[in-house]
Amino acid sequence: MKLKHLAFALTGLFALAVVGLSLQVSAPDAAEGLLTPAQARELLQSGKVDLVLDVRTPQEYHSAGGHLQGAVLSPIQTLDYNLAQLAPYKNKTVLVYCEAGVRSSQAARILRDKGFTDVLDLYGGIGQWINEGYPTVR
């Protein structure tokens, strides 16, 4: 009887572990172009980023939270229309961000699909950047 209870308990623990792993948010993967705020800040400070692209709305860009130093605003809704202006950066390093990382991942995919070769995405967006204590400008 005790063996049966032990097997049941172990099965339950295994199930909880599987559920826990499936709910775990994956960490940023630099190989896929995702950068933590710390990694992005290091690249920005070293001058290795040629274009910082904010794909939020104008209201978000000008909000109290601000934006990254030197960021160019190109809302995701109009990104396709702005590609000609961004063309000089096609073979340069572009860091894309939004509020939380959803729109920037879409923008990064659009840019890569259009031939941009070095597109980086700020994991967690400017919200995570601010949460980690990094500066913005208004």
> What's the CATH number where 48 sits?
3.40.250.10
- What percent of the chain has pLDDT above 70? 78
The amino acid at residue 10 is L
Are 73 and 61 in contact by the 8 Å Cβ rule? The answer is yes
Are 54 and 72 in contact by the 8 Å Cβ rule? The answer is yes
The count of structural domains within the chain is: 1
Boundaries of domain holding 33: 28-131
Confidence of residue 102 (pLDDT cuts 50, 70, 90): very high
Confidence of residue 2 (pLDDT cuts 50, 70, 90): low
Are 98 and 125 in contact by the 8 Å Cβ rule? The answer is yes
Q: Could you give the residue ranges of the DSSP H alpha helices within 63-124?
A: 83-86, 102-113
pLDDT of residue 25: 39
pLDDT, mean of residues 87-113: 97
- The model carries a pTM of 0.78
Task: Classify 51 as helix, strand or coil.
Answer: strand
Residue closest to 105 by CA, chosen among 120, 115, 118: 120
Q: Give the whole-angstrom CA distance, residue 121 versus residue 8.
A: 44
Classify residue 67: in a domain, yes or no: yes
Classify residue 3: in a domain, yes or no: no
DSSP β-bridge partners for residue 126:
none
* pLDDT of 13 above 90: no
Are 80 and 41 in contact by the 8 Å Cβ rule? The answer is no
pLDDT of residue 44: 97
pLDDT of residue 9: 44
| Candidate from 3-7, 18-22, 79-83, 133-137 with smallest mean pLDDT | 18-22
Classify residue 1: in a domain, yes or no: no
pLDDT, mean of residues 60-76: 96
Confidence of residue 30 (pLDDT cuts 50, 70, 90): low
Q: Output Rg (C-alpha) for the chain, integer angstroms.
A: 20
pLDDT, mean of residues 4-26: 41
* pLDDT of 7 above 50: no
